[in-house]
Amino acid sequence: MTAQELRRMYVEFFKERGHCEIASASLLPDNDPTVLFTTAGMHPLVPYLLGESHPQGKRLTNVQKCIRTCDIDEVGDDTHLTFFEMLGNWSLGDYFKEESVSLSFEFLTTVLHIPVERLAVTVFSGDDIVARDDETAKMWKTKGLSDSQIFFYGREENWWGPAGVTGPCGPDTEIFYDMGKESCSEDCGPACHCGKYVEIWNNVFMEYNKNSDGSYEPLHNKNVDTGMGMERVLTILNGKNNVYDTELFIPVMNKLKSLTDISYSDENKRDFRIICEHSRAITFILGDPKRITPSNTEQGYILRRLIRRTIRLIKKHGFPDNILCDLVNVIIQQYKDVYKELGENQNFILDQIEKESCLFRKTLDSGLKKAERYFALLEKDELLSGELAFRLYDTFGFPIEFTMELADERGVRVDITNFEQRFKEHQEKSRQGAEGKFKGGLADASIQTARLHTATHLLNGALRKVLGDSIYQRGSNITEERLRFDFSFTRKLTAEELIEVSRIVNEAIHKSIDVKCVEMTLDEARESNAIGIFDNKYGDRVKVYTIPGYSKEICGGPHAFNTNELGKFIILKEEASSAGVRRIKAKIEYD
């Protein structure tokens, strides 16, 4: 089975059962300050899972492109990926556990023809607060799964949410494929990491609301959120034991082999895989319509880290310096019919890689000079501290193996134990920052975040009035304290321009204008001059929020009912975000 066949079969299966197909959202989430990338299909749907009505209805399905860096150190094994596609279906207050389980089981066994005996599922085991989910376990038994295929686990394995500190949450049931390996122990099960079980689908049942005092109460409208890993399922369907043997990676793996004289063997397999996997992630991040560029902060930092890690591995094996662009070109050609933005942004993608490659080569040269100074201060057999070794890694991109080779050549040693300690601390900080916990932002759906979200609409409209219609939003995030708004512009705003932007926003606030929401087709939104990215980001029907005279945008998040709720708008800072993108930070104050 091909990847495109699997995408089509999944979406068509759910469309035939009343679901509306929605498009893949950007890899960069809007208005959420706690996660750097879209990590799951549910991420762009948080406002609707929290109660907003979706213009496409109560049953939705799609294929969502995702980035997760929390498992970046696992990349190179058989299943973990930085970029992946998630097949998803959602019920927003419509069907619940029974139909969700039935739909998943039918698709796996009837459409994909996966034998029932190769499935295993996990179910919430219950605790002092929420009872054991025997209901879901019984449903799986009615589908033909035996007791030995059903495993009960606690909150760490089988509970989702809430998205914020409070809100909708509930147990989940995860579906695994038994790879046919022998059990590693008597306790071996889906929670084990021995490789016998591979997770392929997760069905989350949002049936509780968590209150501020920590208590739970049943929700009136219960939601279902599911996500299936496309790469993993494709691997299984094609009888492979790792994702790199599928059509998704074969073209770029073959290109890498053709560009080098080194064979693909157990000795270098992991590095080959990382180079190809990261090349794909780099392509999709740079190809996103929001045009993120390498930088030292947030998404740009992750992008820079992926590019530089790939270049380090290329250099480690003595490959030609410029092969990263060759690999990325293969990926663009492979995916551009499915994700058109890759073809449209091809020149931008390759240009950014070339710029970052040149910059990194200079950084490596500087690092080599710095390393020479460090080593010159040491006597034979003396230790280079873990702190300095980590500084070479973190600042100049030196892999520890490179530093150890240089030390060996000079007859000195490296404090590898201290380096590893510092490296683990760095990993944990990166993991926490990349993974996020959905605290704040639109996930909290508080009155204050709704007001700040409305303020971004007024800010966008004011910027377009002052600077012209070439201004477009490039990203935003919101906390309880402030908003941050990124927009396309090439120079620093003058003091006079910022004063005028603030004046326009506050003028709209003082006029006490009702914020109006109308559902319409995408063509109707375009004809009405609504602001938005008119591509496949949106479905057939969209919500258009209007603040007459000031703003008209396609949007889905929570808003204020009237501009007079916003208080006084104050710009805190205006600065560069990345090449061709400016950033404004602002807040609203109340008398």
- What value does the mean pLDDT of the chain take? 87
Whether 413 is in a domain gets the answer no
Q: What is the pLDDT of residue 430?
A: 54
Whether 406 is in a domain gets the answer no
DSSP structure class, residue 409: H
| Residue 205 bridge partners (DSSP) | 224
Task: For residue 468, give the CATH number of its domain.
Answer: 3.30.980.10
Mean pLDDT of 272-277: 94
Task: Locate 129 and state its tokens.
Answer: 């607060």
**pLDDT confidence of 33, banded at 50, 70, 90?**
low
Q: What is the pLDDT of residue 137?
A: 96
Cβ(168)–Cβ(224) under 8 Å? no
Q: What is the pLDDT of residue 364?
A: 77
Whether 437 is in a domain gets the answer no
Residue that is last in its domain, among 214, 244, 274: 244
Tell how strand 20-21 and strand 59-67 pair up. parallel
CA gap 265, 317 in Å, rounded: 13
**Is 350 in the same domain as 488?**
no
Give residue-wise pLDDT tens across range 177-231.
999 888 888 889 999 888 889 999 999 999 988 887 888 888 888 999 999 999 9
Question: From start to end of 183-215, where are the E strands?
Answer: 197-210
Is the pLDDT reported for residue 28 higher than 90?
Answer: no
Is 80 flagged in the annotation as binding?
no
| More confident position, 175 or 129 | 175
Mean pLDDT of 446-470: 90
**Is 230 in the same domain as 148?**
yes
Phi, psi of 253 (to 5 degrees): -65, -45
**Is 239 in the same domain as 315?**
no
Give residue-wise pLDDT tens across range 291-335.
888 887 778 888 988 998 898 888 878 888 789 999 999 999 999
Annotate 413-468 with three-state secondary structure: EECHHHHHHHHHHHHHHHHHHHHCCCCCHHHCCCHHHHHHHHHHHHHHHHHHHHHC
**Is 153 in the same domain as 259?**
no
CA gap 371, 398 in Å, rounded: 10
Whether 63 is in a domain gets the answer yes
Task: Locate 290 and state its tokens.
Answer: 């929001």
| Residue 202 bridge partners (DSSP) | 174, 227
Print the domain residue range for 561.
446-589
Give residue-wise pLDDT tens across range 52-109.
889 899 999 999 999 988 778 788 888 889 999 999 999 999 999 999 999 999 999 9
Is 43 flagged in the annotation as binding?
no
Q: Which of 150-154, 261-265, 412-416 has the lowest mean pLDDT?
A: 261-265
Give residue-wise pLDDT tens across range 230-248.
999 999 999 998 999 999 9
**Is 519 in the same domain as 570?**
yes
Residue that is last in its domain, among 191, 216, 244: 244
3-state class of 66 per DSSP?
strand
Question: From start to end of 42-166, where are the E strands?
Answer: 59-67, 83-92, 119-124, 150-153, 159-160
**pLDDT confidence of 509, banded at 50, 70, 90?**
very high
**Is 84 in the same domain as 131?**
yes
The residue whose two tokens read 């073809």 is 343
| More confident position, 584 or 264 | 584
Amino acid of residue 292: I
Whether 177 is in a domain gets the answer yes
Q: What is the pLDDT of residue 379?
A: 79
Task: For residue 200, give the CATH number of its domain.
Answer: 3.30.930.10
Is 169 flagged in the annotation as binding?
no
Cβ(281)–Cβ(303) under 8 Å? no
| Domain tally, the chain | 3
Nearest to 121 by CA among 10, 194, 201: 201
Q: Is the dihedral of CA 30, 34, 40, 45 positive or negative?
A: negative
Q: What is the pLDDT of residue 445?
A: 62
Residue that is last in its domain, among 353, 376, 399: 376
Give residue-wise pLDDT tens across range 371-398.
888 888 887 777 888 888 888 887 776 7
Task: Locate 121 and state its tokens.
Answer: 């599922």
**Is 182 in the same domain as 321?**
no
Whether 24 is in a domain gets the answer yes
Is 193 flagged in the annotation as binding?
no
**C-alpha of 109 from chain center:** 29
Q: What is the pLDDT of residue 439?
A: 40
Is the pLDDT reported for residue 443 higher than 70?
Answer: no
> Count of alpha carbons within 13 Å of 246, Cβ hemisphere only?
23
Whether 412 is in a domain gets the answer no
Whether 15 is in a domain gets the answer yes
**Is 231 in the same domain as 261?**
no
Most confident of 155-164, 365-374, 567-576: 567-576
Question: From start to end of 82-135, where are the E strands?
Answer: 83-92, 119-124
Task: Locate 20 and state its tokens.
Answer: 């509306």
**Is 552 in the same domain as 471?**
yes
Question: Please, is 544 exposed, middle or buried when counting C-beta atoms within 10 Å of its C-beta (0-12, 13-18, 19+)?
Answer: buried
Task: Locate 338 and state its tokens.
Answer: 């499915």
**Is 353 in the same domain as 475?**
no
**Is 270 in the same domain as 330?**
yes
**pLDDT confidence of 461, banded at 50, 70, 90?**
very high
Q: State percent of the chain over pLDDT 70.
A: 94
**Is 273 in the same domain as 229?**
no
